[in-house]
Amino acid sequence: MWQDVLNISQDCEEYFLNFEEMPGNAESLIACAGISTLRTEYQIGKTGIGEVFQSHNNNRTHVHYLLATHSGGGKIRLEDGEHIIRAGSLVVLPVGTPFLYELLDEHWSMCWFLLHDCRQFQYMHRLPASVFSSDNAQPIYKTMSLLQDINHLTGQHQTQIVAGIIDVLLFQIEQATNKNANLSPQQSKFKALVQSVKKQLHFPWTVALLAQKMHISEPQFYRLCKQETGLSPLKLITQFRLEYACNLLRFTNYNLEQIASSIGYADSLSFAHRFKAFYGLSPGKWRSLEKLDKT
C-alpha cells in the first residue's frame, strides 16, 4: 500500500527556507522546511524509510515530519485510517511513519518541517503519528512567514534578528510537540537557564554561578549538564559562543575585536586562539573561505 508519491499541480506555490543560509544552527535540526499554498492537486506519500536529499547518492536521512495548517485543509492516510486536516491543526509524524497526505479543500495554506532525528528531537520517537488541533499551529505559521519576509533584508542587525526568530521557531516546535510534558522541574529549570546563557554570551559565566542559579552544587550541575547536553558546562558555553561567532563572521562585517567582545572574550587574540582550537582555522581564514563559497 505504502509508496513514494509526488503529484503537485502547477497551481501550487511552495517557498523553501534554506536554513544553511541563515544564522544559528537550525540546519543541524531542520533538514528541510517551507511554506506552501496548495491548489488543484497535491499528493505526497512516503514509505517511512527516510528521505534522499542529494541526487548524487542514495543515502537516506531519517526525519520527523511536522505540518502546521493556516487555512483551508487536507487529509492524511495513516496506518490507523484517514484523518482530516483543518486550519489550526498540527500533524506530527515521527521517524518511520508511512503516510499519504493530499489536498482536500479548494486550497491549503500550511508550513512544514522535516526535522533531523537528532538528540534534540529524540523525544519524538515516543509520540504517536497524529493530527490534532493546537494553539501553536498559527504562531508557527506566522513565525515561518516572518522568516520568509525578513530573509530578503540586509543590514548589520539582520543576523541578530533572524537568529532570534529561529530560536522562537524552534521553541514553538518543541512546545507544539509537547517536548516539555515529561521534563522534571529540574530539567525545565536547566532548559530555561541554557536559553538565558545563549542570550547573554558576553557575560562571564562560571560553573559556580550556573550551579548557584540552579540551587545545586557544582558537581551536581556538571552531571546534569552532561546528562542533558552531552557536554560539560564550559564546553557547552564555548560551543554556543563560537557558533554565534560564526554567524557574525559570515553575516556581518564586524571586526574580530567587536566579535570577541560580543561573545565574552577579553580580546581578539583570546577569541582567535579558541576559535582555531575548535574549528582548525583562524577566524579570518574561516570568513574568507565562507565568502569564497558564496561566490
Pairwise pLDDT comparison (157 vs 145), residue with the higher score: 145
Pairwise pLDDT comparison (212 vs 187), residue with the higher score: 212
Helices (H), 131-178: 137-150, 158-176
Overall pTM > 0.75: no
Report CA 20 to chain centroid distance, whole Å.
11
Strands 81-85 and 63-78, bridge-based pairing = antiparallel
Helices (H), 128-267: 137-150, 158-176, 185-199, 207-214, 218-229, 233-251, 256-262
- pLDDT, residue 54, reads 60
Contacts of 146 (CB under 8 A, 6+ apart): 165
Q: What average pLDDT does range 216-243 have in this prediction?
A: 93
Phi, psi of 45 (to 5 degrees): -130, 140
Report CA 84 to chain centroid distance, whole Å.
27
**Per-residue cell: 152:** 530578503
Q: What average pLDDT does range 217-242 have in this prediction?
A: 94
| 111 touches 138 (CB < 8 A) | no
DSSP 8-state code for residue 23: S
- pLDDT, residue 294, reads 59
- pLDDT, residue 56, reads 44
pLDDT tops 90 at residue 250: no
Taking only the tens place, the pLDDT of each residue in 42-70 is 999 999 887 866 644 567 889 999 999 99
* Burial 142-162, CB ≥16 within 10 A → b, else e: ebbeebeeeeeeeeeebbbeb
The residue whose grid cell reads 516546535 is: 173
DSSP 8-state code for residue 61: B
Taking only the tens place, the pLDDT of each residue in 118-139 is 988 988 998 999 999 999 999 9
Taking only the tens place, the pLDDT of each residue in 69-115 is 999 999 999 999 999 999 999 999 999 999 999 999 999 999 999 99
Q: What average pLDDT does range 253-272 have in this prediction?
A: 91
Q: What average pLDDT does range 252-281 have in this prediction?
A: 91
